[in-house]
Amino acid sequence: MKDGSRTLKRRFITLVDVREVLSISSAQAYALVRSGDLRAIRVGGRCQWRVEIAELEAFIERSYFEPAKES
């Protein structure tokens, strides 16, 4: 959507998009949302999920493996 020189950037993505970004199945994407590991909102009458791009990025950051430091 264009408004003069400004372009509206996409804020939310679908679980299909999440699945593609993370290379996981639809069931795994849904499970991440249902477990609360990936925050999302419900929209529409058919309970469609949307994930804010910033939330997906935060989930990815939290998911990086950090080896335990030796004492």
Residue 11 burial (CB count, 10 A): 9
Q: How many CA atoms lie within 13 A of 6 on its CB side?
A: 4
**What pLDDT score was predicted for residue 71?**
66
Q: What is the mean pLDDT of each run of 10 residues along the chain (71 residues)?
A: 65 96 97 97 89 97 84 66
As beta bridge partners, residue 49 has 42
- Give residue 20's region: left, alpha or beta (phi > 0; psi -120 to 50): alpha
Supply the pLDDT for residue 48: 93
pLDDT (0 to 100) of residue 12: 96
pLDDT of residue 67: 76
